[in-house]
Amino acid sequence: MSTMRTDVVVVGGGIAGMVAANRAAELGRKVLLLERGAEPKYLCNSRYTGGTFHVCMDDIMAGHDKLLALIERMTGGFARPDLMESIARDAERSVRWLQQQGIRFIKASAAAHQGWVVAPPGRTRPGLEWEGRSGDVMLRTLEAAFLARCGQVLRGTRAMALQMQGDRCIGVRAQQATGEISISADAVVLADGGFQGNPELMAAHITAAPEKIRQRGAGTGLGDGLRMAQEVGAALVGLDRFYGHLLSIDALHNDQLWPYPYPDAVATAAIVVGPDGKRFADEGMGGVYLANAIAKLPDALSAVIILDDAVWQGPGKNGLVPANPHLPNVGGTFHTAGDLATLAAKAGLPADAVTATVASYNAAFAAGQLAGLTPTRTADRYKPMSLLKAPFHALPVCAGITNTMGGVAIDGDARVLRADGGPIEGLYAAGATSGGLEGGASVGYVGGLVKGAVFGLRAAEHLAAKVTA
């Protein structure tokens, strides 16, 4: 076994890892970054990202007080207060720091959450388009900055186990094609992403049938960091929730239907039914919430959006890559009929149940009593619409997963925590490897890029104060 010595080891070369590595090097520490991918443009979710920096789908520059209120509302009491405070305090700073590294941003649309999007934008047409865009440019820029700071990247290197001295983390054992390597360090940052690419962990925590969930990202998150941290006594939190969107059911075999377009705007204006023709979740909670609900169905491929033409011609055209017209144009199943009974037959649903479900929904809408439906239908996040205008449409959907929300428990400085709440000295986690900010009953989504950037910065700054240069 070969050996190495450094000040800091960062595991994972996505945004969280690259930010942590750069900031630690910027502060004068000797940093070694381990990346499992062997290619120069190794795949990860940060490589694929559309590059939107937001907080809870709102303006990242909104200021501390508004951001804190947004996070509290979105996560419904699930998020740790210190993690919320870190995001609210450092969200803007993370973007300004990235600008200093050479990352360029544009305003992609008038929407509040799209005011800060990495240039050039990555969401321009259906399917996956990443090379030379958004996340790809961001990672290459950050890697160049890291190397200029005398940082070292070891590609094709998979971290396998943490090395401990008593209660303190003192390094990592990793596997390369040529054999095992032992790296001693004063601090380790776990930033290798979530576990969405691990079928066993997915089956244990997210869905009984992982093969029925479409990966919207690179699928490279195997949960190595989570496993290694757990082996040395780290607490885990919120493993049962994920960030993702609704996708056409045909996305499972048609690459033009993922990661875009996604029909969330249609679902949140209309209704989503199961194989019995009845609603099973609150559409007003948003597409991320619905994707999680669909993943938990006995058959995760049995959900169908029912909408009318007003929804299709209105919210159906919302977004940078809207469902209307892109989804049917690239092969997504889209049923249309002049009446609900005929529509239900086309979609393989019981006609009486669909007709009754839509009638009940329309009656509650007209009476202003959507909250009284079972399940309830909230209206404060997304505007519901009545379903009255023919032709009617049915859109079979599946859940698309980008990354898991839960992971290693951390504090506001990204220190990994034990079950008793105390930190494991020398061990940090950032980005999708960590948990405690997003998820819970409301499936509260704060933002993957801001989460990675903020806690990457905070991990580096905390450990730099502890590590002697």
Kindly state the DSSP code that residue 52 receives in the 8-state scheme: B
> What's the pLDDT at 89?
98
Residues 226 and 157 in one domain: yes
Mean pLDDT, the chain, whole residue set: 97
Give the rounded percent of residues in the chain with a pLDDT score beyond 90: 96
Residues 358 and 288 in one domain: yes
Could you list the residue range(s) of the whole structural domain that residue 8 is in? Answer: 2-240+405-466
> What's the pLDDT at 255?
97
Give the rounded percent of residues in the chain with a pLDDT score beyond 70: 99
Residues 364 and 249 in one domain: yes
Q: Give residue-wise pLDDT tens across range 274-290.
A: 999 999 999 999 999 99
Q: Give residue-wise pLDDT tens across range 166-180.
A: 999 999 999 999 999
> What's the pLDDT at 468?
62
> What's the pLDDT at 123?
75
> What's the pLDDT at 320?
86
Residues 394 and 413 in one domain: no
Single out the residue in 372, 401, 430 at which a domain terminates: 401
Residue 451 in 3-state DSSP? helix
What mean pLDDT is predicted for residues 309-336?
96
Name the one residue in this structure whose structure tokens are 């094609």.
177
Q: Give residue-wise pLDDT tens across range 130-168.
A: 999 999 999 999 999 999 999 999 999 999 999 999 999
**CATH number of the CATH domain containing 153:** 3.50.50.60
Residue 469 in this model has a pLDDT that exceeds 70: no
Residues 266 and 332 in one domain: yes
Alpha-carbon distances, residue 161 vs 137, 224, 277, 408 (angstroms): 31, 9, 48, 15
Single out the residue in 401, 420, 455 at which a domain terminates: 401
Task: Please say whether the dihedral angle defined by the alpha carbons of residues 384, 217, 143 and 20, taken in this order, is positive or negative.
Answer: positive
> What's the pLDDT at 56?
97
> What's the pLDDT at 249?
98
Residues 444 and 378 in one domain: no
Q: Which of 102-111, 236-245, 298-307, 386-395 has the lowest mean pLDDT?
A: 102-111
What mean pLDDT is predicted for residues 425-431?
98
What mean pLDDT is predicted for residues 43-66?
97
Count of structural domains, the chain: 2
Alpha-carbon distances, residue 277 vs 263, 273, 288, 363 (angstroms): 19, 5, 21, 17
Residues 207 and 276 in one domain: no
> What's the pLDDT at 29?
98
CA separation for the pair 167, 38 (Å, rounded)? 32
Burial class, 192, CB count within 10 angstroms (exposed 0-12 / middle 13-18 / buried 19+): buried
List beta partners, residue 163: 171
Single out the residue in 377, 401, 425 at which a domain terminates: 401
**CATH number of the CATH domain containing 342:** 3.90.700.10
Residues 148 and 274 in one domain: no
Residues 213 and 74 in one domain: yes
- First and final CA of the chain: distance in angstroms? 27
Residue 108 in this model has a pLDDT that exceeds 90: no
Nearest to 282 by CA among 268, 303, 296: 268
Residues 391 and 438 in one domain: no
- H-run or E-run covering 163: strand 158-165
Q: Give residue-wise pLDDT tens across range 362-417.
A: 999 999 999 999 999 999 999 999 999 999 999 999 999 999 999 999 999 999 99
> What's the pLDDT at 1?
85
Cβ proximity of 116 and 92 under 8 Å: no
How many Cα neighbours within 13 Å face the side chain of 36?
A: 21
Residues 44 and 178 in one domain: yes
Residue 110 in this model has a pLDDT that exceeds 90: no
H-only helix segments in 330-405: 340-347, 351-367
What mean pLDDT is predicted for residues 428-444?
97
Q: Give residue-wise pLDDT tens across range 186-230.
A: 999 999 999 999 999 999 999 999 999 999 999 999 999 999 999
Residues 156 and 210 in one domain: yes
